[in-house]
Structure 1
Amino acid sequence: MTITQRLVLAFSLLALSLCALVAVSLSVISGFQSRFEYVQVNAIPSIKDLNKSISATNQLGLALYRHQTATDSAKQAEAEQKINTIINNIKSLNDYYMANDISSDEDKEMTVGANRNLDAVRSALPAFLAASRSHNNELSLSLQQSDNGIGAAARKMESDFTKQIELNIQIGDALRAQNNQIYSKTVWMMTCASLLVILLLGAFSINIIVGIKRSLTSIKDTMAEVSSNLDLTRLAPVLRKDEIGQTAMAFNDLLKRVSTTLLSVNHAAQSVSTGSTQIAAGNEDLSSRTEQQAASLEETSVSMATLSDTVRQNAEGAVQASNLANNANKLSRQNGEAVSQMLTTMDEIRCSSAKISDITGLIEGIAFQTNILALNAAVEAARAGEHGRGFAVVASEVRNLAQRSSSAAREIKELITTSVSQVEQGLTQATSVGSNSDNVGHAIQQVADLVNEIAAATAEQSKGIEQVHQAIGQMDEVTQQNASLVEEASSASKSLQEQAETLSRLVSTFKVNESVTQVAVSSPVAVSYASPVLKRPQLNATGADKVNWESF
């Protein structure tokens, strides 16, 4: 039974008890009122009317005495008229009493007896009047005082009226005694009923109040313990099935749901903490690798800048060599035209040969430097890995051209040596010198072509190196940006880890029952970050490279 139903039942019983008490009280009061009204309306008026009859009877005796003592006939006539009036008045009073004041059958019989007494008075009146008119005082006095005359009839009528008054008084006393008896019974009954209602309702109310207080105290103690100790396993005892019991069950359901939620939050916080830790470790590893890559790119950029300057110098030297080769070609043509003047210009030829020897030495030195630069470029291309494959091909071609330039320079040097020896031999070898001059002209033309090719290749190489340098600069910039992003991600993951640990620490302050509350939480997946080992590019020293180096 709910509290509302119990309270409604208690107030209903109280209302029914009050209604019953009010009904009984109204019934008793109504009886009191009816009996009191009967006394007021019947008994008292009856006594008053009977007193009037007694008074009229007394007046009748006085009128009889006056008629007896009257000395003249006029006074006797007046007395007779008075006597008749009184008798008629008594008759009227008896008739009124019979019509309005009868209380019981006995009262009615007594009223009928009063009328008979009045008839007896009327029957005895003529004899008295006759004796009184004749002034027979002895007879008239005898009729008044004897037991058979008018006096006896008047006294009997007065006596009956007195008895009738006593009867009405007895009726009033009986009604008063009945009222007193009913009042005593009613007071006792109302007192007992009130005490019984008070005891029953008091016991019922105390039962309700004690039950409510005990349940509320239990819920209050449970809430206080949960609030002070944060113990979500402490459930409120369900002692009733009313609103308080439903409140306790709802509170227990709330604690279970809060426990489930806190367990979910705790597991999620642990998952976040584990994931953020792994992310932080991966970010630190990535940051380290990014820094190493940035350092490598910076070194590569510096090397490429140096290589670009060197190649630019090689290009300038190749242009100068091309100009010298063109000049040598021009001199060779002039030498062919001046074969006839070789004897006179031998000294000039020797000087020119010396200059050519210097030039070829310069070309040979340029070819040597070009070969070294090409070798360095091949080494750097090998270090660059996949990105330097094309550059390695260009470096190989440049090295081949440098070797060819070196071979041509050696041939020119040998030809010049031969030319000098032939000039020293004299005129006998002029023809041979002329033919050799033609050969020298062709060789110089070839050297010029080779030098032009070297210059063009060097220019292309310079452009390629410049592009590679720009690409490396862009890679360095992107790597720096990546490093900044990695640092930000690492900082964010550390902050996330700290927040997850804080959340887990806050949740751990609550005590929950994990054996009862089963929470399906996905376990954090351990993510392993492979840390690739940074390998510096290895120089592939093949047998061909060794042969080329040795030949160079």
Structure 2
Amino acid sequence: MGRADQTIEPVSTGRSRVSNAVTAMSRVSESAKGIDAVIEGLDKIAFQTRVLAMNAAVEAGRAGEAGRGFAVVADLVSALAMRAEEEAGRARDQLTVTQVEIGTAVAAVEDVDGAFSSISENAQSVHKLLGQVAADNRVQSESISRLSETIRVMDNSNQQNAAMVEETSAAARNLMAEIGQLVEHAAQFRIEGGTAASSPRSLGRASYALPVASVAAVSEEAWV
């Protein structure tokens, strides 16, 4: 999450700078259009100067020998006007190339701005996805905690059950020992007729053989 936030911030800053660059290049393009207008004005001035120089040369030719010096000056002015026209043409050509380059640069910067926009959208999508993943992790962590608590309770219950089983086993062993002692004591009873019950099986058979009235006699007769 932190790195996603750190990614979104530079992208937003980059988009802002690209937007400033596009604005600056747009201003340069407008300035170039103004320069083109100035060059066109200089070209017209050079053309008019050349026309005037030609007219001056014609008038100097009409003046004859007296206008010869003026004709030379007119020729020089005409030559300078032609050079000015040529330089204005080269400046216009260079300005055209510059305008094309500026347009290409603006298009490239706009492409960069589009790329930054896509990166920003993707970064925001990743940020949302990471938020969902973090929420899912919290839910999963809570589920694991509840599961751990359930397992702990089950483990305690198993331990208690094991202890109860152990206690039951011990009680069963004690009961079996007491039963054994009772059997030994029962073997010492004298049965009417003088026969002693030597084993639980024989005691069982003897008890079935006794009449109901003799049960009290057995309890009243002495222990050996």
Change (3 A) 1:316 1:338: same
Alignment-derived partner of residue 311 in structure 1: 25
Question: Which of 457, 468, 488 lines up with 2:132 in the alignment?
Answer: 488
- CA positional deviation for 1:428: 6.8
Alignment-derived partner of residue 330 in structure 1: 44
- CA positional deviation for 1:295: 0.8
- CA positional deviation for 1:299: 0.9
Aligned-partner Cα distance in 2 for 1:463–1:341: 49
- In the alignment, residue 327 of structure 1 is paired with which amino acid? G
Question: Which of 83, 105, 115 lines up with 1:461 in the alignment?
Answer: 105
- CA positional deviation for 1:450: 0.6
Alignment-derived partner of residue 114 in structure 2: 470
Alignment-derived partner of residue 48 in structure 1: none
- CA positional deviation for 1:341: 5.3
Question: Which of 8, 12, 30 lines up with 1:294 in the alignment?
Answer: 8
- CA positional deviation for 1:447: 0.4
Aligned-partner Cα distance in 2 for 1:505–1:324: 85
TM-score normalised over the length of structure 1: 0.24
Aligned-partner Cα distance in 1 for 2:56–2:91: 24
**Per-residue CA distance 1:398-436 (angstroms, 9 max, x = gap):** xxxxxxxxxxxxxxxxxxxxxxxxxxxx98754333322
Aligned-partner Cα distance in 2 for 1:340–1:303: 55
Q: Give the SS at the match of 1:338.
A: helix
- CA positional deviation for 1:444: 1.1
- CA positional deviation for 1:300: 1.1
Q: Kindly report which structure 2 residues correspond to 1:37-436, keeping only aligned pairs within 5 A, or say none.
A: 287-340=1-54, 429-436=73-80
Bigger CA radius of gyration: 1
- CA positional deviation for 1:461: 2.1
Aligned-partner Cα distance in 2 for 1:504–1:429: 108
Aligned-partner Cα distance in 2 for 1:326–1:455: 15
**Per-residue CA distance 1:95-145 (angstroms, 9 max, x = gap):** xxxxxxxxxxxxxxxxxxxxxxxxxxxxxxxxxxxxxxxxxxxxxxxxxxx
Change (3 A) 1:503 1:331: same
Q: Is the 8 A contact 2:50 2:81 kept in 1?
A: yes
Q: Is the 8 A contact 2:50 2:77 kept in 1?
A: no
- CA positional deviation for 1:490: 0.9
5+ residue gaps, structure 2, are 58-69, 160-224
TM-score normalised over the length of structure 2: 0.57
What's the C-alpha RMSD, in Å, of the aligned pairs?
2.5
Question: Which of 88, 94, 112 lines up with 1:450 in the alignment?
Answer: 94
- In the alignment, residue 477 of structure 1 is paired with which amino acid? E
Aligned-partner Cα distance in 1 for 2:147–2:79: 99
Aligned-partner Cα distance in 2 for 1:440–1:335: 10
Q: Is the 8 A contact 1:315 1:455 kept in 2?
A: yes
- In the alignment, residue 478 of structure 1 is paired with which amino acid? N
Aligned-partner Cα distance in 1 for 2:86–2:102: 24
Change (3 A) 1:492 1:342: farther
- CA positional deviation for 1:339: 1.2
Work out the percentage of aligned pairs sharing the same amino acid: 12
Aligned-partner Cα distance in 1 for 2:18–2:111: 10
Change (3 A) 1:507 1:331: same
Count of residues paired in the alignment? 145
Q: Is the 8 A contact 2:39 2:92 kept in 1?
A: yes
Q: Is the 8 A contact 1:319 1:452 kept in 2?
A: no
Q: Kindly report which structure 2 residues correspond to 1:527-538, keeping only aligned pairs within 5 A, or say none.
A: none
5+ residue gaps, structure 1, are 1-286, 344-425, 514-552
Aligned-partner Cα distance in 1 for 2:27–2:118: 25
More divergent stretch after superposition (455-464 vs 333-342): 333-342
- CA positional deviation for 1:493: 0.9
Q: Is the 8 A contact 2:11 2:116 kept in 1?
A: yes
Aligned-partner Cα distance in 2 for 1:496–1:427: 101
Alignment-derived partner of residue 219 in structure 2: none
**Per-residue CA distance 1:52-88 (angstroms, 9 max, x = gap):** xxxxxxxxxxxxxxxxxxxxxxxxxxxxxxxxxxxxx
